Amino acid sequence: MLKKFLPSKHVKSIFHITPQDLTARGIKAIITDLDNTLVAWDRPDATPELLEWFKEMREAGIKVLIVSNNNKKRVSTFSHPIDIPYIFEARKPMGRAFRQAVKILGVKKEETVVIGDQLLTDIFGGNRNGFYTILVVPVAQTDGFWTKFNRRIERRIMNFFKRKGLIQWEENK
């Protein structure tokens, strides 16, 4: 059961994920979380570095869609200015939003990666729905109310993975 929480890959940040690495794996689309994956949960807009990352993905022909458990106002405020499609109130780790995302993107799940900072929502949801998953270190040290609760559980799972030698996790610097 705990294997469903184990990411296919883990990286320090979204910027360690390159179009070359993804296309080499046959990836044509990214389903990404928003808060603490792309930007801090309380940051309203994309950083210049993130805008460049989106541009590189587009130029490589990789589609990007944001799937967030947050509300419409938060997700649309971030997504509209940069013209990235999104699904809000996704209820991850449930499968509906993931299925809807691949339909919107026009790809197969085998051609899609799910990227996120949380084991209980992003990675578990991606894994249980048959996606390749990448876990990133959260970009901020602080979290919203529900995420704080999830992080306590995640720490226990991550410690188990560390003891078993399944993952080496770096805290955000």
Cβ neighbours for 56, distance < 8 A, ≥ 6 positions apart: 18, 19
Name the strands in the sheet holding 29-32, side by side, starting at the edge strand that comes first in the sequence.
9-11, 132-136, 112-116, 29-32, 63-67, 86-87
- Cβ neighbors of 128 (< 8 A, separation 6 or more) are 4, 93, 95
Task: Tell me the CATH architecture of domain 2-163.
Answer: 3-Layer(aba) Sandwich (3.40)
The pTM for the full model equals: 0.90
Rounded Cα distance, 78 and 84, in Å? 9
Tens of pLDDT along the chain (173 residues)?
A: 688 999 999 999 999 999 999 999 999 999 999 999 999 988 889 999 999 999 999 999 999 999 999 999 999 999 999 999 999 999 999 999 999 999 999 999 999 999 999 999 999 999 999 999 999 999 887 666 667 778 788 888 888 888 888 877 554 43
Q: Which two tokens stand for residue 7?
A: 């990411």
Per-residue pLDDT, 142: 66
Report pLDDT for 173: 38
